[in-house]
Structure 1
Amino acid sequence: MAKEIRSPLPGTFYRKPSPEAAPFVEDGASVAVGDVIGLVEVMKSFHEVKAEIAGANIAFKIENEDAVTAGALLAELE
């Protein structure tokens, strides 16, 4: 069964720290507890989204700069 990482807040999800930067985590990578996988921007304030679970082969379920609701599925891990 896949492990899920969900958005803690509503806002805009960013996979990169800036437009010209590489993503925090590439699809297919492994993540550890506490790794930053993206940012959620709410009213010009950016909040880090950290993995609360460890796993391999991360698969993002939304695109960079997509709008998200609180609890929206961001990514799945094996």
Structure 2
Amino acid sequence: MATVISPLPGIFYRKPGPGKDPFVEVGDAVEAGQTIGIVEIMKQFTEIQSDTAGVIESFEADDGAMVNPGDTLVVVREATA
């Protein structure tokens, strides 16, 4: 399992905006570099990307939750070769 951690403090969002679909859901396949969410701090939005290819196993941070640097946001089950 691999984890995607927050690089900065802020509010974690699973969607690109209100009324939009989430970037990814549990069970979705992701590629390395794919956006899985965003963190907002002071109206600045930073895309959070998966470091590895695999399948979204779980979200450890809720949509709209305050997160800190180093907090686990998502757990990814790594793809096997």
Normalised to the residue count of structure 1, the TM-score between the two structures is 0.93
CA contact (8 A) 2:2 2:75 kept: yes
Q: Tell me the secondary structure at the aligned position of residue 54 of structure 2.
A: coil
Q: Which runs of 4+ in 1 moved over 6 A?
A: none
1:20-31 alignment runs, 5 A limit: 20-31=19-30
Residue in 2 that maps onto 1:18: 17
The 2-side partners of 1:57 and 1:72 are apart by 17
User: Percent identity at matched positions?
Assistant: 42
The residue that corresponds to 1:46 in the other structure is 45
SS at match of 2:47: strand
- Structure 2, unmatched stretches of 5+, are none
Where structure 1 has 5 or more consecutive residues not aligned to the other structure, the ranges are none
- TM-score, scaled to structure 2: 0.89
Q: Tell whether the 8 Å contact from 2:32 to 2:49 is kept in structure 1 after alignment.
A: yes
Count matched residues.
77
CA contact (8 A) 2:15 2:21 kept: yes
- What is the deviation of 1:58? 3.1
For the residues of structure 1 that align with 2:45 and 2:67, how far apart are their CA atoms? Answer: 14
Larger % of strand: which?
A: 2
